[in-house]
Amino acid sequence: MLDRIAHLMRHLTQSARLMVGVPEYSTYVDHMKNSHPDKRVMSYQQFFRERQEARYGGKVGKCC
Amino acid sequence: MSPLIAKLGWFGFAITGASAFAVIALQQGESIGAIWIVIATVCVYSIAYRFYSKFIARRVLRLDPTRMTPAYKFNDGLDYVPTNKHVLFGHHFAAIAGAGPLVGPILAAQMGYMPGMLWLLVGVVFAGAVQDFIVLFISTRRDGRSLGDLIKSELGHIPGMIALFGTFFIMLILLAVLALIVVKALAESPWGTFTVAATIPIALFMGVYARYIRPGSIGGVSLIGFVLLMLSIVAGQYVQEIPVLAAIFTLTGEQLTWLLIAYGFIASVLPVWLLLAPRDYLSTFLKIGTIVGLALGVIFISPELKMPAFTQFVDGSGPVWSGSLFPFLFITIACGAVSGFHSLISSGTTPKMIRNETDARFIGYGAMLMESFVAIMALIAAAALEPGVYFAMNSPAAIIGTTAESAAQTISQWGFYVTPEMIMQTAKDVGEHTIISRTGGAPTLAVGMAQILSDVVGGQAMMAFWYHFAILFEALFILTAVDAGTRAGRFMLQDLLGSFIPSMKRTDSLIASLIATGICVSGWGYFLYQGVIDPLGGINTLWPLFGIANQMLAGIALILCTSVLFKMKLDRYAWVTIVPATWVMICTLTAAWQKIFDANPRIGFLAHANLYKEAVADGILLAPAKSIGQMQQVVFNDYVNASLAGLFMLVLLSMLVFGIRTVLRARATTSPSAREAPFELLPADAAPRT
């Protein structure tokens, strides 16, 4: 039961962060480690800034 | 679950839904509780999702759980990330739900709640959700590309350019009408103006905090922002009571217009982290929270619907907006039933994160059902108001006058019981000087929400707080849209102009971006100003133009879907998109035609222009014009609006021609000709289907 609640909370947090354009940082780090071990991994701060620029950089991201 | 039990369960659902409809239909002049509408709605959505969306997924599109998705193919942990379908649902819903589903149904309530409700239900099941779902599917199978790109590759280069061009004008009209809603809600309201103004320093503080003090702390900074927002609502009441401060924040519509235009210009050239991003956090979370709160309120309080099921205004003589039920209801309610704008989201970030093609059904079809439910709640909030109060709030001053007495008298003549005391009491309850002619939908929704929410928390004493909370919530995400939209419009324009003047393309050049921003802001600012000074309230002109533009885009998206179905050799199922495409096009073209050519000056732009031209010839001044020059300006505005409606018709008709050409070519070949990304298997370690 507690597990399920923790699971649900994690999903809610992830969804809320994704709503403002920031995907899961740990997923990004895992991806870089597994697929591009030779490349530099952005710190969370750099990752956050990169995502902010990407979200508001001029794409239509919102509806009426 | 055994198939028999499942079947019985769905049968039960159908019976429940049918009974709820029977209750709604059989009430003879008695008002009913909103809960019946909620039950009927939820049953319709569930059945549609379970059967119709499954039919589309399995039979029509044949979603393939083994097929590669862009999220795996281009996985970069940033834009392309395989994402759990429930997490992605939230993201997609937050992106499609905005002011549209809240405002349209409120304006439509002048015909009674029934027409709006029926169109919301039928529209979402057969048009809106189908469009969102199929566009998401098409984009997912094509590396997550955008609508413009999809049209270019499936229909041709020219139709792609036409669609992009059309999208730019939708942006301008959308921003103008959204800004108009804010102006109408804040004019002469020091409390509201103060709280909305306070969001600017709050957002700036949050921006600095999330960048330098605690970098990237979204949750923490949003919480701080939320507390400050609530404090600013409380403080707003004191601002209103102190005459010196109240005078500063009591602004006319025209003053607010200029402030908004200046704000839009400055905000869209500032760095995004400073103002836009933190405001976006606040508005997104507040939006989701308020929608959930409103849903709980509607379900538990089940407010009585005081608005009749149908009013006499289905004939088109209504004060809120003019035009008869067909075609104008179907463009007044866009978001919530079918909204072309969603096709931009369905071909935006969502397809890049979808983990498995089969998730497209839940995310595309499901999220749209949820948005439709938001629209139903807005309709309930409007219908729960005393009809007399509703019409006092939504009729322009040119029709009901500016005093409670004149408004009550006019509205009583229409057959809706209302006294001047009722109007003044409502204003007092929500802490405003007046509620007369607060057109635009937002204040009406705010009063409706305040009634529902104050029943849950705080009672009568909290009503003014809830009213200003609701105003703030709407103004906040509208301003985010103005800000983000101006920025997006500026990039679109730089791209477009860059084809002719290469130096305009440089987004890092200050001069180029200032010029593009200036053009964008003056574009929507022009329509906004024209709406604010319009004696018929502006909404009467701008909302139909917005509806026509939005439904034009829906028509374009559905033409794309139909072409793709034919190119996939799925001719026998093409009716799934042909039927909604036809309906949307008939409504849009008829509405645009009537807006241009109708002989009634309240509907037709040209008839309105002639009225003013004749008056100029006779040397008579008509309100709002105070000089012959202003009279000529009104005539000019009418011609601009008429040309815009004509332009939308042309765009849609040309897309129809290109669509038919594509379909005929597809039918002439024997093999599928859709330009999908070549088939690849999903990697074996991909997350299993959920």
Which of B165-174, B286-295, B347-356, B437-446 is predicted with the least confidence, judged by mean pLDDT? Answer: B165-174
> In B270-324, where does DSSP find H-type helix?
276-301
Contact B546, B177 (CB under 8 A): yes
C-alpha separations of B490 from B308, B497, B505, B577 in Å = 45, 10, 10, 33
When pLDDT is averaged across residues B199-216 and rounded to a whole number, the result is 94
Q: Which of B72, B80, B83, B87 is the best residue to mutate to test the A interface, defined by the most A CB atoms within 10 Å of its own CB?
A: B87
Subunit contact A56:B97, Cβ cutoff 8 A: no
When pLDDT is averaged across residues B407-419 and rounded to a whole number, the result is 95
Chain A positions in Cβ-Cβ contact with residue B211 (cut-off 8 Å): 49
Q: What is the pLDDT of residues B4-23, one digit of tens each?
A: 888 888 998 889 999 998 88
Subunit contact A23:B348, Cβ cutoff 8 A: no
Is the pLDDT at B370 greater than 80? The verdict is yes
C-alpha separations of B344 from A64, B3, B341, B526, B550 in Å = 11, 39, 6, 25, 11
Burial of B411 per CB tally in 10 Å (0-12, 13-18, 19+): buried
* Confidence band, pLDDT 50/70/90 cuts, at residue B30: confident
SS (H, E, C) B248-271: HHCCCHHHHHHHHHHHHHHHHHCC
Among residues of chain B, what percentage have pLDDT more than 70? 99
> In B48-99, where does DSSP find H-type helix?
54-55, 70-73, 85-96
Task: Find the length of chain B.
Answer: 690
Contact A15, B90 (CB under 8 A): yes
Which residue, among B444, B475, B314, has the nearest Cα to B378 in the 3D structure? B444
Nearest Cα of chain A lies from the Cα of B273 at a distance, in angstroms, of 7
Which of B15-24, B97-106, B176-185, B507-516 is predicted with the least confidence, judged by mean pLDDT? Answer: B507-516
Chain A positions in Cβ-Cβ contact with residue B334 (cut-off 8 Å): 64
Nearest Cα of chain B lies from the Cα of A1 at a distance, in angstroms, of 19
Please count the residue pairs, one from chain A and one from chain B, whose beta carbons lie less than 8 angstroms apart. Answer: 138
Which residue, among B355, B275, B78, has the nearest Cα to A18 in the 3D structure? B78
Of B284, B341, B488, the CB nearest to A58: B488
The per-residue pLDDT of chain B, averaged, comes to: 92
When pLDDT is averaged across residues B348-373 and rounded to a whole number, the result is 96
Contact B92, B85 (CB under 8 A): no
What per-residue confidence (pLDDT) applies to A61? 47
Q: What is the pLDDT of residues B309-343, one digit of tens each?
A: 999 999 999 999 999 999 999 999 998 999 998 99
Subunit contact A63:B348, Cβ cutoff 8 A: no
Nearest Cα of chain B lies from the Cα of A2 at a distance, in angstroms, of 19
Is the pLDDT at B682 greater than 80? The verdict is yes
Q: What is the pLDDT of residues B109-137, one digit of tens each?
A: 999 999 999 999 999 999 999 999 999 99
When pLDDT is averaged across residues B197-216 and rounded to a whole number, the result is 95
- Highest mean pLDDT among A27-41, B506-520, B618-632 belongs to A27-41
Is the pLDDT at B74 greater than 70? The verdict is yes
Burial of B270 per CB tally in 10 Å (0-12, 13-18, 19+): middle
Contact B64, B414 (CB under 8 A): no
Of A11, A27, A64, the CB nearest to B100: A64
Of B78, B84, B97, the CB nearest to A51: B78
Q: What share of chain A is helix, strand, coil (3-state, %, to 5)?
A: 65, 0, 35
Subunit contact B90:A15, Cβ cutoff 8 A: yes
Of A12, A35, A63, the CB nearest to B95: A63
Is the pLDDT at B655 greater than 80? The verdict is yes
Other beta carbons within 10 angstroms of residue B40's beta carbon come to 23
What per-residue confidence (pLDDT) applies to B496? 76
pTM of the model: 0.95
Chain A positions in Cβ-Cβ contact with residue B335 (cut-off 8 Å): 63-64
* Confidence band, pLDDT 50/70/90 cuts, at residue A59: low
Q: What is the pLDDT of residues B382-391, one digit of tens each?
A: 999 999 999 9
Subunit contact A61:B484, Cβ cutoff 8 A: yes
Is the pLDDT at A60 greater than 50? The verdict is no
d(C-alpha B369, C-alpha B194), whole Å: 36
Burial of B511 per CB tally in 10 Å (0-12, 13-18, 19+): exposed
For B123-170, the DSSP string reads HIIIIIHHHHHHHHHHHHTTTT--HHHHHHHHH-HHHHHHHHHHHHHH
User: Please, what sign has the CA dihedral across residues B658, B659, B662, B667?
Assistant: negative
Query: Cα torsion for B447, B452, B456, B459, to the nearest 10°?
Result: 40
Q: What is the pLDDT of residues B559-594, one digit of tens each?
A: 999 999 999 999 999 999 999 999 999 999 999 999
Other beta carbons within 10 angstroms of residue B195's beta carbon come to 29
**DSSP-derived secondary structure letter, B313:** G
Nearest Cα of chain B lies from the Cα of A40 at a distance, in angstroms, of 13
Q: Which of B85, B96, B131, B218 is the best residue to mutate to test the A interface, defined by the most A CB atoms within 10 Å of its own CB?
A: B218
Q: What is the pLDDT of residues B268-305, one digit of tens each?
A: 888 889 999 999 999 999 999 999 999 999 999 999 99
C-alpha separations of B496 from A8, B159, B161, B199, B499 in Å = 45, 15, 10, 33, 6
What per-residue confidence (pLDDT) applies to B507? 72
Chain A residue with CA closest to B147: the answer is A60
- Residue B440, Ramachandran bin (φ over 0: left; ψ between -120 and 50: alpha; else beta): left
